[in-house]
Amino acid sequence: MNPSTLTWQSPIALLAYLGTTNYDTMALSPDGTHLVAASAGGYAAILDPASPSSASVVSLTSNPGNQSGNLSITKYNKAILAGSPCLEIDLSTLAVRSLGYLVADLIRASADGSALYGVDLNISSGEVHSLDPITYAQKTQVFGFLSWSDLAVSRDGKQFVGISGGPG
């Protein structure tokens, strides 16, 4: 959808890589120049929505693990794929690196990409996390006996809310 004209544009066809055509999650960078779609098959397609035919595909399989299918992009052009290990894709260089174990199962960025927050899913500890978008240092607050199912972040990142829901 073109936000200026509010008209639908031509669909964007994501690249198929080694037979992978199913992408589980996607995110748009705050400046709108990068669309990242990740697949459970261990690949991510990175493209500029203005010229989708010039997409690149990067392999995530050099950092095997269990990514949750949650993807966020910071204003520093870093795509964060939550899981164990959590992965970072540098959108400037397309380099992929492991961030190791970040506590949050679900990570969301503010619309401006200046803030990252996370929650632990399907457990009753009620933990919420604030993550530094540069160093990924975490601050954790516990609200015991709450199970989070989702997370919403304000546009400027100054507020967030965990959505309470039963496990599963």
Nearby residues of 10 by Cβ (< 8 Å), 6 or more positions away: none
Q: Return d(Cα 119, Cα 163) in angstroms, integer.
A: 9
How confident is the model at residue 144, as a pLDDT? 76
Nearby residues of 106 by Cβ (< 8 Å), 6 or more positions away: 68, 70, 82, 118, 119, 120, 121, 148, 150, 151
How confident is the model at residue 167, as a pLDDT? 59
Average pLDDT per consecutive 10 residues, the chain (168 residues; last block may be shorter): 83 64 84 88 86 83 66 94 87 91 82 90 82 91 82 89 74
- CB of 27 within 8 A of CB of 38? no
